[in-house]
Amino acid sequence: TKPKEPELPLFFGWFLLPEEEERIKCATMDFLKTLDTLEAFKEHISEFTGEAEKAVDLEQYFQNPLPLHCTTKFCDYGKTEGAKAYAELQVVKESLAKSDELSVTALIVTPRTFGARVALTETQMKLWPEGADKEGVAPTLLPSVEALPAGSRAHVTLGCAAGVEAVQTGLDLLEILALQKEGKEGTQVEMDLGTLSYLSEGRWFLTLREPITADTNFSSFSE
Which residue out of 112, 117, 153, 155 is catalytically annotated?
155
Q: Which stretch binds ligand 2AM (CB under 6 A): 25-33, 92-100, 161-169, 189-197?
A: 161-169
> Site for ligand 2AM (CB under 6 A): which residue of 95, 110, 124, 157?
157
Closest CA to 206 of 38, 71, 23, 21: 38
155 is catalytic: yes
Q: Is residue 216 classed as helix, strand or coil in its secondary structure?
A: strand
150 interacts with ligand 2AM by CB under 6 A: no
With binding defined as CB under 6 A, does residue 205 bind ligand 2AM? no
**Strands, DSSP E only, in the chain?**
11-16, 69-74, 99-109, 113-119, 155-160, 188-190, 194-198, 204-221
Answer yes or no whether residue 166 interacts with ligand 2AM by CB under 6 A.
Answer: yes
CA 85 to CA 171: how far, in whole Å?
24
Give the one residue of 170, 193, 203, 206 binding ligand 2AM; rule: CB under 6 A.
170
Binding site for ligand 2AM (CB under 6 A): 10-11, 66, 71, 74, 135-136, 157, 166-167, 169-170
